Amino acid sequence: MLDLAGRTAFVTGGASGIGLALGRAFAEAGMNVMLADIERDALAAAVASLRDVGPEVRGVACDVTDPDSVDRAARAAFDAFGKVHVVCNNAGVAGGGGIDDLSLDSWRWVLDVNLMGVLHGIRAFLPHIRGHGEGGHVVNTASMAGMTAGLGFSPYTASKYAVVGMSEGLALQLQPFGIGVSVLCPGYVRTRIGESGRNRAERYGPSRTPDPASPAGALVAYIAEQLKAGLDPSDVAARVLAAIRDNRLYVFTHPEMRPEFDQRIAAIDAAMDEAAAW
């Protein structure tokens, strides 16, 4: 999809961080934009902040864990703009993790938002994009946590590996329809992901803050520092737009994290060699 101007983009998690930066970049590229988010006040502020950028930016309340809510948000986009061409399944939360945190509530919350949320977006928009036949692009936000397991035993890592796998499979199947797929795998980006608990629905129980003296507490503090020093979300968005235009599957933003990934691939290669020599 080389020509973005005049098309429409739909972005979940569009009220903050990477989603908001994507919304701005799409608007600057001449696209109509629908921002979808669970946090209504932040959403209204996000839409207002983009008022004079691009042709038209609107917002719709949406909880990506609920397929009906995502369907309703999709219909709002169709009603507002007719056709949607670019869908960014970007909403995500960080929470839980480590061998001392085995709370099922945390696992369900993170998997519902980060994994099922992506699936709900694909289900809501794919028939529409195939139907209008003008081409399109699906962007799924994963993470470098979908490439290496440095965070340890964590629902976040599990969700992001899953998003990488489903994006790779989707890309294969959509190629014949002229619909591209990109999977965004950033390292640390300066956003509010460290405060994800602000949007944790009651049904998932309370967010627990780990004891700062525990290994989990130390990891949370380390991540908070890394996020503060992270990449600007606008840099991430610029790379995503380039990947859409060039129809590239993988979008990486932190090449300095490559050694950890190379280590994993080397270990897999070695295991394959062992299997071959069996």
> Rule CB under 6 A: which of 96-115 touch ligand NAD?
113-114
- The answer to whether 188 is a known catalytic residue is no
The minimum distance between CB 146 and ligand NAD, in angstroms, equals 8
**Should residue 181 be labelled a site residue for ligand NAD when binding is judged by CB under 6 A?**
no
**Should residue 125 be labelled a site residue for ligand NAD when binding is judged by CB under 6 A?**
no
**Could you tell me the strand order of the sheet in which 32-37 lies?**
57-61, 32-37, 8-12, 86-89, 136-141, 179-185, 250-252
The minimum distance between CB 131 and ligand NAD, in angstroms, equals 25
Smallest CA-to-CA distance from 251 within 155, 114, 147 is with: 147
**Should residue 9 be labelled a site residue for ligand NAD when binding is judged by CB under 6 A?**
no
**Should residue 124 be labelled a site residue for ligand NAD when binding is judged by CB under 6 A?**
no
The distance between the two most distant Cα atoms of the chain, rounded to a whole number of Å, is 64
- Neighbouring C-beta atoms of residue 45, cutoff 10 Å: 14
Is 13 or 96 the residue whose CB approaches ligand NAD more closely?
A: 13
Stretch that binds ligand NAD, among 99-107, 130-138, 192-200, 202-210 (CB under 6 A): 192-200
What's the rounded Cα separation, in Å, for the pair 124 and 88?
12
DSSP codes of every residue in 52-103:
TSSS-EEEEE--TT-HHHHHHHHHHHHHHHS---EEEE--------STT---
> Where do contacts with ligand NAD occur on this chain (CB under 6 A)?
12-13, 15-19, 37-39, 42, 62-65, 90-93, 113-114, 141, 143, 186, 188-189, 191-193, 196, 199, 227, 230
